[in-house]
Amino acid sequence: MALFCVALMVFSQTAMAGHVVSSADLQAAMNTASHQRQADSTAVNQFLQSELGQRAIQSAGLSYAKIQQKVAVLSDHELSQLAARSLDLQKDFAAGRLSSTHITYIIIAAVAIVLIIALAAD
């Protein structure tokens, strides 16, 4: 019986060893998340500072400063989604091959992004 208990203890310690995260791995994961959040924040702010973003902010009747405050409190997931949408809108707008109807739709989408930012943090 004692041999069984010793074997069980050794097995459980070995199994648990695979579940322990080193402080270096944890620090690396935190650094990666921090860098990703910074990149997402930069993408959203570049969009907001662009001509398209400024039009959207004005159309929504909001101020850039208020939107910046709201961006700062978004979750990592929300910020990542907005960054992806912002980059897509900027690419579409920069392509220059858009009709006025397309530009109108893009501005409507941009206003929606600005409003999502404004409402998400309230």
Q: How far is CA 91 from CA 45, 73, 85, 98, in A?
A: 15, 26, 10, 11
Q: Does a structural domain hold residue 1?
A: no
| Residue 88 lies in domain | 34-120
Q: Does a structural domain hold residue 27?
A: no
Q: Does a structural domain hold residue 29?
A: no
pLDDT for residue 70: 82
Q: Does a structural domain hold residue 20?
A: no
Cβ pair 52, 89 in contact under 8 A: yes
Question: How far is it, in rounded angstroms, from Cα 80 to Cα 3?
Answer: 53
Q: What angle do CA 25, 29, 34 make, to 5 degrees?
A: 145
pLDDT for residue 42: 93
Residues in the chain, pLDDT under 50: none
Is this model's pTM higher than 0.85 or not? Answer: no
User: How is residue 73 annotated by DSSP?
Assistant: T
Q: How many domains is the chain built from?
A: 1
